Amino acid sequence: MALRKIGIAADHGGKELKRSVHDFLQVIECEVVDYGVSVDTDRSVDYPDYASLIASDLSTGKLDLGIAICGTGIGMSIVGNKFRGVRAALVWDEYTARMSRVHNDANLLCLGARVINHRRAVEYIKLWLQEEFEDGRHSERLKKISEIEKKN
C-alpha cells in the first residue's frame, strides 16, 4: 500500500475503535491525522462536529482519504456527504467495503463501532485501501454526482 495521508475522526461511540484504526494505519505506514475525539474524553460529543472537521479537509484536498466512526456510522456518512467532493460510504461487511472503492471510489469510509468489532473494521479498511476503482461506467456515475453537487 502506497503512503497516503489519512484522517481519522470519531465521536464518543467510535473513539475506542478509532484508536485501533490509528494503530493499524501506523503499522502500514500511512500518515495519520487524528481529528478527535480523544479516547480520554469521557463526555458525549456530537458526531456532526467531528465529521465536519475531517470532511472539510478531505474536500479541500488536505487529506487523501478519511475514516469516520460513530456508533452506527450513519451520522458520519450523512455529514460527510454534505461536503463537495466527499464520497462517504458506510460499510458493514467485506462486500460493501470492496464495492465502496470499486464502484463508488469512496474517499471517506464510515464505520459503526456498535455494529462491527475491531478485527472486522480493520479487515474492511484493508479491503478499501487495496481495491482499485473500476473506472469506465463508474466514472460517468461519479461525474453525475459532481453535477448534482454543483446544482444543489
| Residues annotated as part of the active site | 70, 103
Place of cell 448534482: 148
Q: Which three cell numbers stand for residue 11?
A: 465521536
When asked if residue 83 is in the footprint of ligand RB5 (CB under 6 A), the reply is no
Nearer to ligand RB5, 36 or 71 (CB): 71
Give the separation between CA 141 and CA 42, rounded to whole angstroms.
Answer: 42
Out of 25, 52, 54, 75, name the contact with ligand RB5 by CB under 6 A: 75
Could you give the CA distance from residue 106 to residue 134 in angstroms, rounded to a whole number?
12
Among 70, 86, 127, 129, the residue binding ligand RB5 under the rule CB under 6 A is 70
Q: How far is the CB of 9 from ligand RB5 (least distance, A)?
A: 12
Q: Rule CB under 6 A: choose which of 72, 81, 100, 104 binds ligand RB5.
A: 72
Of the listed pieces 24-32, 66-74, 84-92, 120-128, which binds ligand RB5 according to CB under 6 A?
Answer: 66-74
Q: 31-34 and 5-10: which strand pairing?
A: parallel
Count, residues near ligand RB5 per rule CB under 6 A: 8
Give 116's DSSP letter: S
Question: Using CB under 6 A, which of 28, 32, 33, 74 touches ligand RB5?
Answer: 74
Cα→Cα distances 134→5, 97, 116, 142, Å: 22, 14, 27, 12
Q: Which of 67, 2, 66, 59 is nearest to 29 (CA)?
A: 2
Residues of the shown chain interacting with ligand RB5 in the complex, contacts defined by CB under 6 A = 11, 13, 47, 70-72, 74-75
